[in-house]
Amino acid sequence: MKKRRDIPGKIAIGLTGMSVVIIIAIIVVMFTVIIIGGKDKFTWEFLSTFPQDGMTKGGIFPAIYGTALLVIIMAIAAVPFGTITAIYLTEYASEKSVIAKIIRFAVRTLAVVPSIIFGLFGLGFFIKFVGTGIDTAFLGGNLHWGQPNILWASLTMSLLTLPVVIVSVEEAILTVPREYREASLALGATKWQTIKKVVIPGSLQGILTGTILAVGRGAGEVAPILFTGAAYYLATLPGSLSDQFMSLGYHIYIMSTQSSNVDQTMPIQFATTLVLLLLTFVLNLIAVVIRVRIRRKQYK
């Protein structure tokens, strides 16, 4: 039983292995290039000061602040709704329920709808319908809510990140052993008590992962906020929900395509990209680590 030489097999393994190497190489190259391009400018001063001289000097503090505010409001909106939807899908809906199937399909559709469509929706629904509605109903037609602002941008973004939360929370809830639930029910706890005292505490890590992933996604997306609230340059930080804001991603886009002196601001652009990349990278990394821990727990 001598093992035959398997030349096509070797070639196949080589080719497929090569694809993996190519993908990883692209990731590494992107990282390296952006780090090299941005490392000189990447200082505390850059992170903590306002842009100066028509954005050619100074830092990106308002963009960081705006992004942080955006994702915080977004998470406040998306996480509870996402968690509750996940609880419904795993705890209340039966497996054969048509409604649950439709909800699942809707969630997956939400996940693949192009982000620019969310932007259009934010404009058409939040700004022109809800915002203008509030203005005409309560403010006598004064334009206040019926224009782009950070609240509408955050809510638009929360719709985009809703599926991310739902999927990770659902995954985590499924890792809570059925015996726990049964034990709780056998002790006389009601379904809602079981969910409150057993299921949710058992899936807290999943909710955390979902939140982190959603924040990472929300921080990086630009298309939904293009016309729902992001601003090119603001001299002050957003003070209320009806203010516009600056965001890291939008800053990169504007600086690299619309600005008049692209070459002069190159280091700023690279450094801003580096900040955004590091932010999303670290968030994703944390999420991956927590996820691995959840999966290990499941197999024990």
- 230 backbone φψ class: left, alpha, beta (φ>0; ψ -120 to 50): beta
Q: Contact region for another protein (CB under 8 A) — 26-34, 58-66, 173-181, 198-206?
A: 26-34
CB of 45 to another protein, least distance (A): 22
Q: Which residues have a Cβ under 8 Å from the Cβ of 35 and sit 6 or more positions away?
A: 274
**Interacting residue with another protein among 64, 70, 150, 166 (CB under 8 A):** 166
CB of 86 to another protein, least distance (A): 9
Q: Contact region for another protein (CB under 8 A) — 9-17, 172-180, 202-210, 234-242?
A: 9-17
Cβ 299 vs Cβ 286: under 8 Å: no
Cβ 244 vs Cβ 148: under 8 Å: yes
Q: Is 6 in the site for another protein (CB under 8 A)?
A: yes
Binding mask 86-115 vs another protein (x if CB under 8 A, - otherwise)? -xxx--xx--------xx-xxxxxx-xxxx
CB of 81 to another protein, least distance (A): 6
Strand, coil or helix: 232: coil
Cβ 160 vs Cβ 186: under 8 Å: no
The rounded Cα 215 to chain-centroid distance in angstroms is 4
Q: Contact region for another protein (CB under 8 A) — 47-55, 178-186, 188-196, 199-207?
A: 188-196
In terms of Cα–Cα distance, which of 129, 284, 109 is closest to 214? Answer: 284
Residues 237-256 within binding reach of another protein (CB under 8 A): 249, 252-253, 256
Measured between its terminal Cα atoms, the distance across the chain in Å is: 39
* Cα–Cα distance measured from residue 124 to residue 52, given in angstroms and rounded to the nearest whole number: 34
Q: Is 20 in the site for another protein (CB under 8 A)?
A: yes
CB of 214 to another protein, least distance (A): 12
Which amino acid belongs to residue 9? G
CB of 91 to another protein, least distance (A): 8
* Cα–Cα distance measured from residue 61 to residue 58, given in angstroms and rounded to the nearest whole number: 9
If the CB atoms of residues 38 and 238 are measured against another protein, the closer one turns out to be: 38
Judged by CB under 8 A, how many residues of this single chain contact another protein? Answer: 91
- Residue 47: enclosing H or E segment and its boundaries? helix 44-48
If the CB atoms of residues 62 and 220 are measured against another protein, the closer one turns out to be: 220
CB of 59 to another protein, least distance (A): 18
**Interacting residue with another protein among 170, 269, 290, 294 (CB under 8 A):** 269
Structure tokens at 297: 């727990």
**Interacting residue with another protein among 63, 169, 173, 219 (CB under 8 A):** 219
Q: Is 150 in the site for another protein (CB under 8 A)?
A: no
Q: Is 225 in the site for another protein (CB under 8 A)?
A: no
Cβ 220 vs Cβ 276: under 8 Å: yes
* Lookup result for tokens 């990731």: 27
Q: Is 172 in the site for another protein (CB under 8 A)?
A: no
CB of 282 to another protein, least distance (A): 10
Cβ 79 vs Cβ 165: under 8 Å: yes
**Interacting residue with another protein among 117, 139, 204, 241 (CB under 8 A):** 117
Q: What is the dihedral of CA 258, 261, 267, 270, to 10 degrees?
A: 20
CB of 237 to another protein, least distance (A): 22
